[in-house]
């Protein structure tokens, strides 16, 4: 009995069943083309094409330039597959170097809709540290990692998305409006990194730099977080310099990847 025929496998909506079969196959291994998926899940290519388009639109899957499908950001939050992503694997080596140099927590983040989400975290050995976890979410406009992504988008898109909305950070700081956000994003573009001081948590400093693919699309944000008390001006400059170098190195190692940005219209 194939997955597409008979009994238990056919219970419920055929479209839902096909979507779950696709996600199960993508979680189990390498990226797959539409033809490969059709053979493995025994579902017609015409049906799979519609299903995969919806999964990509909703952020559950991504499609690379070769037409192969892989898990997207929304799927990563419901399983352990994130640990096997090439992007996360490459991050581990970069994070180890930053930890050796500075012993501060290093994170890898992406944007899902209007929130930044941590895909991977390497923690400092110091007793006072950021308490967070993979999958934790912060408003993208407020976080250093989210601002790295937003800075890569056209100002007109930022205005359309945020104009007229109350922009209040997790610690209660209210931005004066989309004009202040645009200024923050312009500074991020100019510097090549975003910096956040006590806007997502009291006493917390964070800096993020973009990780980009060969097409210049931001794949992720590489972030260092630390208590503000451990970031005097000279040390801050050293950490940011090494963070930017690490981001460039990570970008070079994953230049072939598609984007995991699951933003919505």
DSSP assigned state of 174: B
Mean pLDDT, the chain, integer: 84
For domain 7-71, the question of CATH label 3.30.1860.10 is answered with: no
Delimiting residues of CATH 3.30.450.40 domain(s) in the chain: 81-253
Q: Is residue 77's pLDDT more than 70?
A: no
Decide if pLDDT at 62 tops 60: yes
In this prediction, residue 6 carries a pLDDT of: 37
Q: How does pLDDT run across 7-51, given as a tens digit for each residue?
A: 334 444 667 778 878 887 876 667 788 998 888 888 888 888 888
Label residue 99 by pLDDT band (50, 70, 90): very high
Contacts of 241 (CB under 8 A, 6+ apart): none
pLDDT recorded at residue 5 = 38
For the chain, give every residue range classified as CATH 1.10.10.10: 7-71
- Calculate mean pLDDT across residues 153-179: 93
pLDDT at 79 over 90: no
Among 99, 93, 128, 87, smallest CA distance to 221 is for 87
What pLDDT shows up at residue 11? 44
- Say yes or no: domain 81-253 is CATH 3.30.450.40: yes
pLDDT of 2 strictly over 50: no
- Please enumerate in sequence order all residues whose Cβ is within 8 A of that of 224, keeping only pairs 6 or more positions apart, or say none: 98, 102, 104, 105, 106, 107, 206, 207, 239, 243
User: Contact, 82 vs 88, CB < 8 A?
Assistant: yes
pLDDT band with cut points at 50, 70 and 90 for residue 215 = confident
Tokens of 67: 């037409």
**Percent of the chain topping pLDDT 90:** 49
């Amino acid at each position: 009995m194939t997955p597409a025929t008979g009994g238990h496998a056919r219970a419920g909506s055929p479209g839902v069943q096909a979507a779950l079969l696709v996600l199960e196959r993508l979680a189990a291994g390498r990226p797959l083309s539409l033809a490969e998926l059709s053979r493995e899940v025994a579902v017609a290519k015409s049906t799979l094409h519609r299903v995969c388009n919806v999964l990509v639109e909703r952020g559950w899957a991504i499609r690379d330039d070769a037409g192969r499908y892989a898990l997207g950001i929304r799927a990563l939050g419901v399983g352990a597959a994130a640990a096997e992503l090439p992007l996360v694997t490459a991050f581990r080596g970069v994070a180890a170097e930053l930890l050796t140099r500075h012993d501060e927590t290093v994170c890898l983040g992406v944007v899902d809709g209007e929130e930044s989400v941590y895909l991977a975290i390497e923690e400092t050995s110091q007793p006072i540290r950021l308490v967070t976890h993979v999958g934790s979410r912060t408003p993208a406009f407020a976080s250093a990692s989210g601002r790295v992504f937003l800075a890569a988008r056209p100002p007109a898109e930022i205005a359309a998305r945020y104009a007229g909305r109350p922009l209040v950070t997790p610690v209660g700081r209210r931005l004066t409006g989309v004009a202040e956000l645009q200024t923050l994003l312009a500074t991020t573009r100019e510097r090549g990194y975003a910096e956040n001081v006590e806007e997502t948590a009291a006493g917390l400093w964070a800096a993020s730099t973009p990780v980009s693919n060969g097409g210049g699309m931001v794949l992720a944000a590489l972030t260092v977080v630390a208590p503000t008390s451990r970031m005097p001006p000279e040390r801050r400059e050293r950490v940011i310099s090494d963070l930017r170098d690490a981001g460039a190195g990570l970008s070079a190692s994953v230049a072939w990847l598609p984007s995991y940005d699951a933003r919505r219209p």
